[in-house]
Amino acid sequence: MTRQGAETRDAAAPLWSATVVLRVVTLLFAIGAAVVHRDDFQRPWLAWVVLGVMTAWTIVTSVVYARERLRRDWLVLADVVLTCTLVLTSLLILSAGQYGHGDPLITTVWAAVAPVAAGVRFGRDGGVLAGLAVAVTTVFAQRRFDLDVARDGFLLIASGLLVGMAATIARRSAAALAQALRTEAATAERERLARSIHDSVLQVLARVRQRGTEVGGEAAELAKLAGEQEIALRTLVTTQPVGPSARGTTDLRSALQLLATASVQVSAPAGEVALPAHITAELVAATSEALANVGKHAGPDARAWVLLEDLGTEVVVSIRDDGPGIAPGTEKRAAAEGRLGVVESIRGRVRDLGGTAVLVSAPGSGTEWEIKVPVKAKSAR
């Protein structure tokens, strides 16, 4: 099987196969029970009609459940409805004597398969609801409610619950494995490119930087630019991919590391800081605007530092520079003149995320942005 086929195949396929086997086995048990009690039925002909319907439905569902492209939500719902209907036919089939002796319903354990199928298809909640529907129907069909009936109902609900949880875990595990395979493939390709780039482009940039520094003058400026591009390229080929994962998250740490240059240093936690893709995009955009402002107002020789902190319930991005800082009252004068484009853009982006952006600066002490954004969505990872 190809990697793509492994990713698209339903991870709960073994549970569907087990459902088919269980349905066939329980059908044989129901037929055997009907043969044993055939002389006691109030309407034997109806009993055989119901068993015929059960047999036909078993064949249909066995074919459908065994093929992923044929499985449909409505078919599983129809399975539950038909099962409940057939359970109620016991009211017309079983005699008063059979009810007195506690004989099984016409469907017997065959009725337990529908909650299992619902659990496989819809997960825990679907399995529990289907089990509850069949359990309530069984109570009506039994014409009594005692410990035995309660036990059977509990087992129906529990089977739907357990199978539903198993199906959900299997699908989540498969999604995680598929993401790991994609990451592995991307990492292998990035390493291959890194080796190729290191043997060619990076060596040339390093040589230009070295010679330009030695020559001085205008060549020194070229050397500085070559050094910045060398750092940026090294960061690009050594950073984890920042594309969205299967859960729609991206790694803020990797995205911010791509902003590193000769004059910008990025510090971040060792592990991944996975956030919803739109939050990552907005934080990277705000950080880029702050760094662009450093280059514009702090001068070409200014250095900047970006610090990412993951505090669990929030992430903090700090952007600090060693420029001349902002004189007191400058921000108010700029606001009065309508010149707070970048500042308000940063604050607006962060405000839309439910966070805060604080600008701290003083003459001779540089400028620092502290951006805080709550990340409650991380608890659902």
Q: Which residue is it, tokens 């060792």?
A: 270
Per-residue tens of pLDDT for the chain, all 381 residues = 444 444 457 788 899 999 999 999 999 999 999 999 888 889 999 999 999 999 999 999 999 998 888 888 999 999 999 999 999 999 999 988 888 888 889 999 999 999 999 999 999 999 999 999 999 999 999 888 888 888 888 999 999 999 999 998 988 888 878 877 877 776 677 666 656 665 566 666 667 767 777 777 777 777 767 766 666 666 665 555 555 565 678 888 888 887 877 778 888 887 788 888 889 889 988 888 888 888 777 776 788 899 999 988 899 999 998 888 776 656 655 555 555 556 678 888 899 999 998 888 777 778 888 999 998 644 333
**284, 353 in Cβ contact below 8 A?**
no
**What length does the chain have?**
381
pLDDT at 377: 46
Q: How far apart are CA 308 and CA 275, in angstroms?
A: 13
Q: How far apart are CA 17 and CA 142, in angstroms?
A: 31
Which of 147, 123, 1, 15 has the alpha carbon at shortest distance from 68?
Answer: 15
Q: What are the C-alpha distances in Å from 283 to residues 41, 294, 322, 350, 366?
A: 73, 17, 22, 7, 21
Q: Which tokens go with 93?
A: 């089939």
**236, 258 in Cβ contact below 8 A?**
yes
Question: 148: Cβ–Cβ under 8 A, 6 or more apart, which residues?
Answer: 102
Question: 381: Cβ–Cβ under 8 A, 6 or more apart, which residues?
Answer: 247, 249, 274
Which of 36, 121, 23, 42 has the alpha carbon at shortest distance from 76?
Answer: 121
pLDDT at 84: 95
- Print burial letters for 165-182: b (CB count within 10 Å at least 16), e (below 16): ebbbebeeebeeebeeeb
- Print burial letters for 241-264: b (CB count within 10 Å at least 16), e (below 16): bbebbebebbbbbbbbbebbbbbb
**Domains delineated in the chain:** 3-176 (no CATH), 241-381 (3.30.565.10)
pLDDT at 381: 38
Q: What are the C-alpha distances in Å from 345 to residues 198, 295, 349?
A: 38, 17, 6
- 3-class DSSP string for the chain: CCHHHHHHCCCCHHHHHHHHHHHHHHHHHHHHHHHHCHHHCCCHHHHHHHHHHHHHHHHHHHHHHCCHHHCCHHHHHHHHHHHHHHHHCHHHHCCHHHHHHCCCCCCHHHHHHHHHHHHHHHHHHHHHHHHHHHHHHHHHHHCCCCHHHHHHHHHHHHHHHHHHHHHHHHHHHHHHHHHHHHHHHHHHHHHHHHHHHHCCHHHHHHHHHHHHHHHCCHHHHHHHHHHHHHHHHHHHHHCCCCCCCCCCEEEHHHHHHCCCCCCEEEECCCCCCEEEHHHHHHHHHHHHHHHHHHHHHCCCCCCEEEEEEECCCEEEEEEEECCCCCCCCHHHHHHHCCCCHHHHHHHHHHHHCCCEEEEEECCCCCEEEEEEEECHHHHHC
Q: How far apart are CA 1 and CA 149, in angstroms?
A: 46
